[in-house]
Structure 1
Amino acid sequence: MQTALVIRFLAFEDLGSLQQILDGRRYQIETLDANLDSFAGLDPSAHDLVIVLGGPIGAFDEAKYPFLKPVLSFVEQRLQCGKKILGVCLGAQLIARALGSNVGPMEKKEIGFAPISLTDEGLQSCLEPLSSGVPVLHWHGDQFEIPAGATRLAATDTCPNQAFSVGNSVLALQFHLEANAQRIEHWLVGHAGELDSIKLDPRVIRDQAQACADELLAAAQTVFASWLDRH
């Protein structure tokens, strides 16, 4: 049986559509809450797959949130193992930082469902199913630079660096491809203060989620399955 370690920052920013794929492949899943659970003695090579999910803090915020330091250290060690690691939003930013790249604020936040544009390399990657304009969930105010040696895969007008890969073992997504659009209410309530601060009506995102739910779920499952099968 294959094993997956999931590092989570918020309960509702969970595996989403990835859960069904991993269950279908009979992965044994272990979840660590980054802000509560200890990483002491954790073997970075012990799991077949590591997934680092998103959260509403910055990748360089360890002074404010000290638990980020052991998470970053674990990510660095996992990368050295050469085994599969997937980063989503904050998780992707932590991978970028661990690989020596900067992560910093954008001019404006990018929140809502919208398609991405794939680079030529992205069209040849596991993200190819998104080339038809499938809306994905964006929810971030920071962005990463592409690490040296990594391959840039996707962009939007607001954020030119939306995804990168390193070989077949590392996939970093700034956007939330895993988000279950049918459970968007958790996001709207959990991040209500942020939406209010930028005067974004939650009804806009709710309507977007309802319109793309089935299409996004199908694309996400195809993308993730394709990446898991690449060795």
Structure 2
Amino acid sequence: MRAHYLQHVPFEGLGSIEDWLRANNDTITQTGFFETSWHLPEPEDIDLLIILGGPMSVNDVAAYPWLTAELQFIRQCLEVRIPTLGICLGAQLIARASGAQVYPNPHKEIGWFPIMGTGPQQPDTFIFPASQRVFHWHGETFDLPTGAQLLARSQACPHQAFQLGRSVLGLQFHLETTPASALALVAHCRDELVPGLYIQSEQAILAASPADYQVINQLMVEVLQFLRAGVSC
């Protein structure tokens, strides 16, 4: 399988996703919008699109002009039904590319907090656990795109995950997080760790156990396997 990922800042990479892709002997290519020169492939040259997170907003087009090209590319991939996974900013980009609005959430959600799956939906729908503690780092949210199914919510944010069609998933939370990637986020975005109802301290974030990471990384494997099944659909 030919997997391509869109990366917005150097400190938010694939995390545990890379291990899964390499274990499956997949071809991995990347567009790094933070690089001086970046290139987007043709949609027909990829089988899976992964859109990573980043500290910028979908609405920051003036500061990040490449967002216009990225949104157009995402639209093209959705039109030809490329299986697509959006994480945090990536989910917000899918929502915007699908015509939905993206805007600040009433609360920033940073740290380890539970999501609640919305239960069985239509056939061929990914099902999240009824409750699962996962890693968050986001301050914005989105309206659900037309035709999207809500898959998960949290106390801080009602739209945590959605599915479009058979094989497009948008997740506000970070199932790919590893101890190293959590440390990198804290190091680069420490200024966001201010007192808040849904903002943990640096110490609380980094105190997560190996088991915490194993659980969310396994859930990411299940998401990726679901999307891989959609490659042949």
After TM superposition, the score normalised by the length of structure 1 is 0.90
Higher helix share: 1
Classify 1:193/1:166 alpha carbon distance in 2 versus 1 (closer, same or farther; 3 Å): same
* C-alpha deviation, 1:85, in angstroms: 1.1
Structure 2 counterpart of 1:213: 213
Residues 89, 172 of structure 2: 8 Å contact kept: yes
Matches within 5 A, 1:13-162: 13-36=12-35, 37-39=37-39, 42-121=41-120, 127-128=126-127, 130-131=128-129, 133-162=131-160
How far is the alpha carbon of 1:83 from its aligned partner? 1.3
Partners of 2:15 and 2:39 in 1: CA distance: 24
Cα RMSD, aligned residues only:
2.2
Which whole-Å CA distance do the structure 1 matches of 2:124 and 2:158 have between them?
A: 17
Match of 2:187 in 1: 189
Q: Offset of 1:182 from its aligned partner?
A: 5.2
Give yes or no for the alignment of 1:174 onto 2:172: yes
Cα distance change of structure 1 residues 126 and 111 upon mapping to structure 2, 3 Å threshold: farther
* Contact residue 117 and residue 131 of structure 2 kept, 8 A: no
Length, aligned pairs only = 228
Indicate the SS of the match to 1:107: strand
Question: What is the rounded CA distance, in whole Å, between the counterparts of 2:111 and 2:58 in structure 1?
Answer: 21
Gap regions ≥5 residues in structure 1: none
Tell me: CA distance 1:58–1:209, structure 2 relative to 1, closer, same or farther (3 Å): farther
Amino acid at match of 1:194: E
Segments ≥4 residues shifted beyond 4 Å: 122-127, 196-200
Q: Which runs of 5+ in 2 are unaligned?
A: none
Deviations 1:117-162 (A, max 9, x none): 111246976653x415332111100001110011111100110001
Q: Which amino acid aligns with 1:227?
A: L
Q: State the percentage of identical aligned residues.
A: 34
The TM-score with structure 2 as length reference comes to 0.89
> How far off its partner does 1:14 sit?
1.1
